[in-house]
Amino acid sequence: MGKSKVLVVGGTGYIGKRIVKASLEEGHETYVLQRPEIGLDIDKLQILLSFKKQGARLVQASFSDHRSLVDAVKKVDVVICTMSGVHFRSHNLLVQLKLVEAIKEAGNVKRFLPSEFGMDPARMGNAIEPGRVTFDEKMKVRKAIEEANIPFTYVSANCFAGYFVGNLSQMCTLLPPATDNVTVYGDGNVKVVFVDEDDVARYTIKTIDDPRTLNKTVYLRPPDNILSQRQLFEKWEKLSGKQLRKSTLSEHDLLSSMKGLDYAQQVGVGHFYHIFYEGCLTNFEIGEDGEEASQLYPDVNYTRMDDYLKIFL
């Protein structure tokens, strides 16, 4: 059985570029959408050209030209969309509805992976405002996919290390605190799941030709990376040889800190609340509609978070 042909939509983005790389490495014929709207964005163009050098095929298409999208998806078996969904960058998750329309009309796509890669939006029905917008929009896209009978896989990637580990899960920074002062969310013992972005991409590519993941949600829960915030602190203390000074932030104080923040940070506070107080990444068992990636693909030697943190020393 040959490897499926893959189209990545959003290939120059943060997680998208890693997915293109993983797809090429895994030996898939890899297509990357090239949008005319990138215009003079020379960084995006250079990324696309470097993919081409590595063997990817660039496909011109625009979200404002339905035919071009249909023609693009007709070239492949699998479509992976990594559309933006981080508010302080840009958030265009609903633009994916046009891609769903195109996939429906083309009729050839054997698997579609929409832009998910975080918490499972199906479990976030009671999420707080305004952060719930992320989950509501992802659920709208799911509904359109399922109503169109498009075969899918949803990847629930949990916390990207770049946004949650280097900063010891502190907001508004991506680095360990220079002062060694850190905020502990509640008792700091709620279990969270951290995943290196390259591993997110590797697991994602593994799912696309796998009959076990057809119409399922794949949760990334590499066992050594299921950690509480306190366990993450310990790893950093061991590596750096320094004690962190920890101050506790109550659930109430986190939520009231939302007032006065800009919209993007309010979204972030809501997400941090669900992850670090409610424990939404780990407070459930994976059921019939789900699979766990490290069990499906034990050959992936995922990055452990003490190794990940070394780069910050």
Q: Are strands 153-156 and 181-185 parallel, antiparallel or unpaired?
A: unpaired
Distance CA 20, CA 43 (A): 16
Maximum distance among all Cα pairs of the chain, rounded to whole angstroms = 59
Buried b / exposed e across 188-220, counting CB within 10 Å, b at 16+? bebebbbbbbebbbbbbbbbbbeeebeebbbbb
| 104 noted as active-site residue | no
The smaller minimum CB distance to ligand GO6, of residues 30 and 115, is found at 115
Number of residues binding to ligand GO6, judged by CB under 6 A: 15
Could you tell me which stretch among 57-65, 101-109, 143-151, 263-271 binds ligand GO6 (CB under 6 A)?
263-271
Judged by CB under 6 A, which of 171, 255, 261, 286 binds ligand GO6? 171
Q: Kindly write down the DSSP assignment for every residue of 85-99, as one continuous string.
A: EETTTEE-GGGHHHH
Query: Are the beta carbons of 184 and 230 closer than 8 angstroms?
Result: yes
Q: Does 260 bind ligand GO6 (CB under 6 A)?
A: no
Number of residues binding to ligand NDP, judged by CB under 6 A: 30
Q: Which residue is nearest to ligand GO6 (CB)?
A: 118
Q: Does 83 bind ligand NDP (CB under 6 A)?
A: yes
Binding mask 198-237 for ligand NDP (x = CB under 6 A): ----------------------------------------
Q: Does 89 bind ligand NDP (CB under 6 A)?
A: yes
90's contact among ligand NDP, ligand GO6, none, with CB below 5 to 8 A by partner kind, is ligand NDP
Q: Are strands 191-195 and 226-228 parallel, antiparallel or unpaired?
A: antiparallel
Considering the complex, what minimum distance in angstroms separates the CB of residue 129 from ligand NDP?
Answer: 17
Q: Is 138 helix (H, G, I), strand (E, B) or coil?
A: helix
From 138, 143, 242, 310, the catalytic residue: 138
| Paired residues of 33 in beta bridges | 59
Q: Does 73 bind ligand NDP (CB under 6 A)?
A: no
Judged by CB under 6 A, which of 59, 109, 118, 218 binds ligand NDP? 118
Q: Is 131 helix (H, G, I), strand (E, B) or coil?
A: coil
